[in-house]
Chain A
Amino acid sequence: AQSVSQHNHHVILSEAASLELGCNYSYGGTVNLFWYVQYPGQHLQLLLKYFSGDPLVKGIKGFEAEFIKSKFSFNLRKPSVQWSDTAEYFCAVGNTGGFKTIFGAGTRLFVKA
């Protein structure tokens, strides 16, 4: 069965620090990869996605993620975080056919001003 593992459940950073959130998945076939974000009091929304092609994908608000097929990983990065990046971040994997998107447990990021 598919599964998604996020390495950190809670991360605390100061503004301007660099961010990397780890995500590994287990699935043998072709996958579609996503990061979703939930800002305080807001809906879950798509941050970025990877389907194929360039393994380095860019999303909104300066976030990027790198797909490393050999490591089954899709880590999220941002060079310099802001207080407004405080949120919960979810890595998600969709199987080919796409209806069963499986989510990781989430990482709560708190950025200190």
Chain B
Amino acid sequence: NAGVTQTPKFQVLKTGQSMTLQCAQDMNHNSMYWYRQDPGMGLRLIYYSASEGTTDKGEVPNGYNVSRLNKREFSLRLESAAPSQTSVYFCASSELVRAVSGANVLTFGAGSRLTVL
């Protein structure tokens, strides 16, 4: 049981280049997320997909696009990378554990470390 798998684990880009981070989960979760982690700032939500066919902006969506390819896969695209996007990116999926309060427990991938020069 792999859980949440992200690729690549490491990537170095030059300013202006584009790339896509891939994420897949095998837990049959409905919801998927992309976060970025920066020192002293914790994890910030970039985009999420509550269910297959839907995507919504999080706290810091600018400069990113996402695609929910199917129930398993949720990709994050940087169209024109900037040094400010140097970060560690985490994909997560969630199961609804308490319908009354809409509580989702997140399962995270290992992270993708991106450096933009």
Q: Report A's interface with B, CB cutoff 8 A.
A: 4, 6, 9, 30, 32, 34, 36, 43-46, 49, 51-52, 90, 94-106
Contacts and interface: CB of A to CB of B under 8 A. Distances in A.
Interface string B83-117: 00000001010101110011111101111000000
A103 B104 contact: no
A71 B104 CA distance: 24
Contact of A101 (B50, B96, B106): B106
Contacts of A4: 42
A52 B110 CA distance: 30
B43 A97 contact: no
Main secondary structure of the interface of B (DSSP, over half): strand
Given A51-B97, A99-B104, 8 more contacts: A30-B101, A43-B3, A44-B106, A46-B105, A46-B106, A51-B103, A103-B35, A104-B42
Nearest to B51: A99
Interface residues of B, number: 32
A96 B102 contact: yes
Contact of A99 (B3, B50, B108): B50
Given A94-B103, A100-B58, A106 B42 contact: yes
B56 A98 contact: no
With most chain A CB atoms within 10 A of its CB, the pick from B4, B97, B106 is B106
Contacts of B104: 32, 94, 98-99, 101
Contact of B103 (A6, A32, A36, A100): A32
Contacts of A30: 101
Interface in B19-62: 31, 33, 35, 40-45, 48, 50, 56, 58-59
Contacts of B33: 99, 101
12 contacts: A4-B42, A30-B101, A32-B102, A36-B106, A43-B108, A43-B109, A94-B102, A98-B96, A99-B104, A101-B106, A103-B42, A103-B43
